A = this chain, B = another copy of it.
Amino acid sequence: MKYTERGAEEVKIAYIGGGSRGWAWGLMSDLAENADMFGDVYLYDIDYEAAQHNEIIGNKFNDLKESKSTWNYKAVKTIDEALTGADFVVVSILPGTFDEMESDVHTPEKYGIYQSVGDSTGPGGVIRALRTMPMMEEIALAVKKNCPKAWVINYTNPMALCVKAMYDAFPEIKAFGCCHEVFGAQAIIAAALLDFEGVEVRDRKDIKVDVIGVNHFTWITKAHYKNRDVFPLYAKYAEKYMDIGVQKKDDNWFNYVFDCSQRVKFDLYKKYGYFAAAGDRHLAEFCPGKWYLESPERVKEMGFGLTAVSWRKSDLQNRLARSKRLLSGEEQVKIENTGEDGVNQMRALLGLCPLISNINIPNVGQIRNLPLGAIVETNAIFVDDDVTPVFAGDLPQGVYSLVARNVDNQLLIARSHKEKDLKYAFEAFCADPLTTCNPADAKKLFDEMIDNTKHYLGRYFK
């Protein structure tokens, strides 16, 4: 790349994955919206045809008059081709197919274990990690070979173990995991300001929060807006809606907050006095199984949903149909801000804008009471070609051991990957707070889930 008066040009982005379309189109839109970065996006997916379709759709953005920059999209057949000379690598893959995910999410239901997402933690998260880590290792080694100085932005779940696998494979990698779940927390504070004081917050980023924890189970202990501490407002809001939840009302920007009623996070606030900053579907999975996921009825009572894989399958069909319409021109591509930080992170790393945002990287001491080397989530500052975590201190009492439990499991699973031995992963599986069944059943369940997904687990059976 090079700097010009317009900003940065000839930037090369490698996009790994994207066959499932959603994230890829969002990135295209976000790239088009910025006027100071230009270049090429190389698309690599194991489904080459999907990459080709994305190439065509991506290039259509250049024809929009609203587009502020031009990006040349190009599908390639090998990962090496995509990565050679890349400045940024975006990784957003589906590890396996939705059939494997169906096993991850639904097999445990036989034993009364319900999972609202099943991709980060819980029995499903463990199995998914086992099949994803080898893929991430492969990508990290390809980065090492083709573009060792590139920044790698991961969107794939399970976030922590994906990033861990990359650092374990190539310790010098400049990788981080990026997740929008915290943004909803800012929106909730904004909602509280509106509710109690009639204050309209212009942009969720105007609410400043600290972040401490692990991906999808991050916590906020401080929140500020303008010249004041607005954490007490959150407390008031949590108390007001604790029993009834927050209802969806309209369509303005912060509405994605209301995908759940927030009752799980309000209950966690009641317990610990801190603000759990992710969607309730995620939060619930990090707590003892009986708390929020005891049964579909309990889930409903708490105002969130179990995301069935059948829904994901049909949603994918919708996206494929939309892909067809976009390709044929029946539907036009459109610039719609995703609210994601990915493109801004790239811009900040090129020195085009300042940025403080939450990311997932190895713990080097930014969280004092978690093990060094575990992948944790805190704020970080992004500046020219550098990312440095903000000092987050200690996880507070009560919250500490919930997170420590997850991190300990994270390290056990990573050890299984490293030693090619399922033993440690099984211990993590048993120790997972969602595994409410007894050890004998846990063993049967684990074996069945492994068997269901064994096509991707060859590594462990050599």
A contact residues vs B (CB 8 Å cutoff): 1, 3, 8, 87, 206, 208, 210, 222, 224-229, 267, 271-272, 288, 290-291, 294, 298, 349-351, 354, 356, 364-366, 368-369, 371, 379, 381, 383-386, 388-393, 397-398, 400-402, 404-405, 407-409, 411-412, 415, 424, 427-428, 430-431, 435-439
Contacts and interface: CB of A to CB of B under 8 A. Distances in A.
Say whether chain A's binding surface is mostly helix, strand, loop, or mixed.
Answer: mixed
A393 B365 contact: yes
16 contacts: A3-B226, A208-B384, A224-B383, A225-B351, A226-B384, A267-B439, A271-B427, A271-B430, A288-B430, A356-B383, A389-B391, A390-B390, A398-B408, A401-B408, A404-B408, A405-B405
Contact of A439 (B3, B291, B364, B386): B291
A331 to B, nearest CB: 36
A290 B436 CA distance: 7
A409 B399 CA distance: 10
B351 A366 contact: no
A404 B267 CA distance: 22
Contacts of A349: 227
Contact of A365 (B225, B267, B365, B386): B365
Contact of A404 (B298, B404, B435, B439): B404
Contacts of A411: 397
A384 B228 contact: yes
A208 to B, nearest CB: 4
A222 B386 contact: yes
Contacts of A3: 226-227
Nearest to A230: B384
A184 to B, nearest CB: 19
Nearest to A402: B431
B431 A398 contact: yes
B381 A356 contact: yes
B298 A438 contact: yes
Contact of A391 (B222, B385, B391, B398): B391
A277 to B, nearest CB: 16
A411 B272 CA distance: 13
A225 B384 CA distance: 6
Report, nearest first, the 8 A-B pairs whose CB atoms are least far apart.
A401-B408, A224-B384, A208-B383, A401-B405, A226-B351, A391-B391, A290-B438, A404-B404
A140 B441 CA distance: 48
A230 to B, nearest CB: 9
A302 to B, nearest CB: 10
Contacts of A365: 365, 368, 391, 393
A385 B439 contact: no
Contacts of A383: 208, 224, 356
A176 to B, nearest CB: 14
B354 A431 contact: no
Contacts of A227: 1, 3, 8, 87, 349-351, 384-385
